[in-house]
Amino acid sequence: MGNIINGKEVSDKIRESMSAQIEEFKNKTGVVPRLEVVLVGEDPASQVYVRSKEKACAKLGMESKTHRLPESTKQEQLVDLVRTLNKDKKVHGILVQLPLPKGINATKVLDEISPEKDVDGLHPYNMGKLLKGEDPLFVSCTPQGIIELIKTTGVPIKGAEVVVVGRSNIVGKPVALLLLQQHATVTICHSRTKDLGEVTRRADILIVSVGSPQIVKGDMIKKGAVVIDVGVNRLSDKLVGDVDFESAKEVASFITPVPRGVGPMTIAMLLKNTFLAAQRGVK
Ligand code: NAP
């Protein structure tokens, strides 16, 4: 049976190590790192994620504010809010919680966030830098968290055959680029991939970010592979990932559970990015 990668434990360690640094920064500069989150509508999962982000900020002595807006909010109102937050010197990080309601063009809103406050790393400047293999101001939180989790296994990324299932801007594409930068051989799969199992079985490191419950079964995984399950799917009685954990753990050498796998790392990286933004702001 494979080793379980405890994302909660890894993220707790990262937060602990940041705690003293933040305290010292606040004492030295009088500046409190501040994250402002924009949440539109009533999506239950988004509500939970945003509350976790607020709590995590408070625990580390960082400030946060969530702008809770009704489903009926117009795109122009969101753009105006983002522009106001861009100008506010007390705000270091801006995060627009996705998904946005139908009728709002998320790209138009995200592109308004100043690249210096883009703690989710989704602005074209930051994504473009990543594509060019240059240092972005911020790397997307979930992909950054995934890399940290892979590193805990000790399995080398350089030269590894990596398969990423899912090509979202928030996970699939940026994680593939980060791994490419670290000299992995990367294949990206998506809904039109002809024989998913045939491709996933090649992976030394398999990352799945689809949003479809337990779509990847044990027989689609190479023996000894590292499996990172990003998916969060709510079944009637529990949360499950995109990987069928029970069959996958028999073949994988390391595997992330859902929950307590990738999720806590996303939040830890958001805190890290917000602190980074605050540090840059005082330079
Ligand atoms: P997304 O935008 O929902 O897109 C899903 C991707 O999966 C698309 O690229 C799609 O292909 C692909 N796909 C759909 N059906 C497929 C199939 N049968 N075979 C292969 N690929 C298929 O993706 P996302 O935003 O990355 O989210 C994916 C999951 O991760 C969701 O459950 C989300 O809640 C979760 N998530 C978790 C965290 C965390 O911190 N734990 C963070 C972000 C996301 P096409 O492009 O062809 O449509």
Looking at the predicted structure, is the pLDDT value of residue 51 above 90?
yes
The fold adopted by the segment(s) 30-114 is Rossmann fold (3.40.50)
DSSP structural state of residue 134: S
Looking at the predicted structure, is the pLDDT value of residue 107 above 80?
yes
Pairing mode, strands 233-234 and 239-240: antiparallel
Residue 2 banded pLDDT, cuts 50, 70, 90:
confident
Q: 232 CB less than 6 Å from ligand 1?
A: yes
Instruction: Give the span between the Cα atoms of 29 and 40, in whole angstroms.
Output: 33
Residues in Cβ contact with 71 at an 8 Å cutoff, skipping those fewer than 6 apart: 40, 41, 42, 101
Instruction: Give the span between the Cα atoms of 155 and 2, in whole angstroms.
Output: 13
Q: What pLDDT sits at residue 106?
A: 96
Residues in Cβ contact with 173 at an 8 Å cutoff, skipping those fewer than 6 apart: 127, 167, 188
Looking at the predicted structure, is the pLDDT value of residue 282 above 90?
no
CB 35 within 8 A of CB 67: no
Residue 219 banded pLDDT, cuts 50, 70, 90:
very high
For residues 54-79, give the mean pLDDT. 97
CB 253 within 8 A of CB 153: yes
Catalytic residue among 26, 77, 89, 120: 120
Does residue 279 have an active-site annotation?
no
Residue 103 banded pLDDT, cuts 50, 70, 90:
very high
For residues 254-281, give the mean pLDDT. 97
Instruction: Give the span between the Cα atoms of 272 and 278, in whole angstroms.
Output: 10
Q: What pLDDT sits at residue 1?
A: 84
CB 209 within 8 A of CB 165: yes
Domains 30-114 and 141-263 share a fold: yes
Under CATH, which architecture does the 141-263 domain have? 3-Layer(aba) Sandwich (3.40)
- pLDDT, one tens digit per residue, over 126-175 is 999 999 999 999 999 999 999 999 999 999 999 999 999 999 999 999 99
Looking at the predicted structure, is the pLDDT value of residue 283 above 90?
no
For residues 24-53, give the mean pLDDT. 96
Pairing mode, strands 226-229 and 205-208: parallel
Does residue 217 have an active-site annotation?
no
DSSP structural state of residue 20: H
State the residue for tokens 């074209």: 124
Q: Which residue, 153, 218, 202, is CA-closest to 1? A: 218
For residues 44-56, give the mean pLDDT. 94
For residues 37-62, give the mean pLDDT. 95
Domain-by-domain residue ranges, the chain? 30-114, 141-263
Structure tokens at 62: 């960082």
Residue bearing the CA closest to ligand 1, atom 41:
263
Q: What pLDDT sits at residue 87?
A: 98
Instruction: Give the span between the Cα atoms of 213 and 127, in whole angstroms.
Output: 28
Strand partners, 227: 206, 255
Q: 166 CB less than 6 Å from ligand 1?
A: yes
Structure tokens at 72: 């009926």
For residues 71-91, give the mean pLDDT. 97
Burial 179-195 (b: 16+ CB within 10 A, else e): bbbbebebbbbeeebee
Q: 212 CB less than 6 Å from ligand 1?
A: yes
Q: How far is CA 250 from CA 25, 207, 219, 221, 233, in A?
A: 45, 17, 10, 10, 22
For residues 197-213, give the mean pLDDT. 98
Residue bearing the CA closest to ligand 1, atom 35:
231
Structure tokens at 132: 């060019």
Q: What pLDDT sits at residue 134?
A: 95
For residue 145, give the ligand 1 atom closest to its CA. 40
| Number of residues that this document lists for the chain | 283
Does residue 118 have an active-site annotation?
no
